[in-house]
Each structure stands twice: as structure tokens, then as C-alpha cells.
Copies of this chain bind each other. A is one copy, B any other.
């Protein structure tokens, strides 16, 4: 998994109907975790707020692990990092 910070969200009205009901959060990846990529769009079933540090799962783990096995989802917020921790 990767750690990042929620910095916003994007709205998509015209989308796959399998994505209806999902929020698309913009996650800024921690500098040491991005491999040159600094942002990713992840769905959020945990209720993360702007500015919170989160755990992001990617690939089939996002889809299957979030009970959306048939949806075109490849990244999901799966945990919120407890406040006060330093990971870098």
C-alpha cells in the first residue's frame, strides 16, 4: 500500500454506471512512495477528509477489497493514518 494525503476531489458526471456512488479523491502520495508519480485518484469508502493521511491500495486489491469486484476501480483509500504519526 502507499501513504498519501487527501488534497481534494474531482467530479465526474458522465461515467461508467458501475462507478455511481463513489467519490474520487485526489491523493498526494508521500514523496518516498510515488516513484515519480505524485498524485493518484482513489475512491473512498472510509470517509477521509481533506488533509488527512491515508493508506491507499492499488490494483485488483482496490476493486476486490472494496466489494466492487466488477467496477473499473484501481485505487482505493482503505485506511486513515492515526494523527501524530511520522512515516517519513
Which residues in A have some Cβ–Cβ distance to B below 8 Å? 1-3, 8, 10-16, 18-19, 24, 26, 30, 32-42, 45-47, 55, 57-66, 69-76, 78-82, 85, 87-88
Q: Given A34-B37, A59-B74, A79-B19, is A1 in contact with B14 using a C-beta cutoff of 8 Å?
A: no
Please determine whether B35 and A78 come into contact, CB atoms closer than 8 angstroms. no
- Interface pair A82/B13, CB less than 8 Å apart: yes
Name the contact of A12 in the complex, choosing from B10, B13, B14, B79 (C-beta under 8 A): B79
A87 touches B14 (CB 8 A): no
Task: Say yes or no: B73 contacts A61, CB within 8 Å.
Answer: yes
Select which of B3, B15, B34 is within 8 A of A10 by beta carbon.
B3
